[in-house]
A and B are shown apart, each in its own frame.
Chain A
Amino acid sequence: GDSVTQMEGPVTLSEEAFLTINCTYTATGYPSLFWYVQYPGEGLQLLLKATKADDKGSNKGFEATYRKETTSFHLEKGSVQVSDSAVYFCAGWSSTLGRLYFGRGTQLTVWP
């Protein structure tokens, strides 16, 4: 079935470090892909999305490129801040099931 696999955490970085969180998908066809972020004590919120191959989603300095050759949608940020500390979820849309499917989440902690 459709699924996403994202790197396990926790990820701990110093402020201004480069961030990559890996996400790969398994699906029939080419699903829309998403990154959601959950800040402490809050629900999830959409960070960025891409709807087709080679699309790049971007928001708040984060980027992810939809690569069908490697079935990947890795999240990157060039210089993380303490305020980026959160749990990040990769997700895909299943047209077969008619709903989103989520990865297990990656906890990011950024130290000053």
Chain B
Amino acid sequence: DVKVTQSSRYLVKRTGEKVFLECVQDMDHENMFWYRQDPGLGLRLIYFSYDVKMKEKGDIPEGYSVSREKKERFSLILESASTNQTSMYLCASSLQSGPYEQYFGPGTRLTVT
């Protein structure tokens, strides 16, 4: 079974802190994604990556950056956390580019106070 793991289920940070959210997949997938999930807004894509060291902006990249140094790991970075970044963050991976199934991690619920 494909497994996508996220470093934390719950995280509480203070405004202005630098926050790292880590995601690891164990199936040698090429593509990885970071989404943000908010009530009434569904899933919004923050960043995605089709290869190591490669990244593409999604719909809401402002205030975020990403890093993909190894194929299996995709990190989301909040350079200076703000309260409007309080949300559920979901990581996903897929085998390759195209209309293929995305496999999701369990999510990290981040609260910024």
Q: Is the CB of B40 within 8 A of A46?
A: no
A25-57 vs B: 1/0 string, CB under 8 Å? 000000110100000011111100101000000
Within B34-64, the residues touching A (CB, 8 Å) are 40-43, 45, 48, 50, 58
Complex CA–CA separation, A103 to B99 (angstroms): 16
Complex CA–CA separation, A93 to B94 (angstroms): 13
Q: Is residue A89 within 8 Å, beta carbon to beta carbon, of the partner chain?
A: yes
Q: Is the CB of A44 within 8 A of B90?
A: yes
Interface on chain B toward A: helix, strand, loop, or mixed SS?
loop
Complex CA–CA separation, A100 to B93 (angstroms): 12
Known: A43-B4, A43-B104, A45-B104. A99 touches B42 (CB 8 A): no
Q: Is the CB of B42 within 8 A of A89?
A: yes
**A105 / chain B contacts, CB cutoff of 8 Å:** 42-43
**B45 / chain A contacts, CB cutoff of 8 Å:** 99-100
How many chain B residues touch A (CB < 8 A): the figure is 22
**B92 / chain A contacts, CB cutoff of 8 Å:** 43-44
14 additional contacts, CB 8 Å, given A44-B90, A49-B99, A103-B42?
A42-B107, A43-B92, A43-B106, A46-B101, A46-B102, A51-B99, A89-B43, A93-B99, A99-B33, A100-B102, A102-B42, A104-B40, A104-B41, A105-B43
The 23 sampled A-B contact pairs (Cβ below 8 Å) are A31-B99, A34-B99, A41-B106, A42-B107, A43-B4, A43-B90, A43-B105, A43-B107, A44-B43, A44-B92, A44-B102, A44-B104, A45-B103, A46-B102, A49-B99, A51-B99, A89-B43, A93-B98, A98-B50, A99-B45, A100-B102, A103-B42, A104-B41
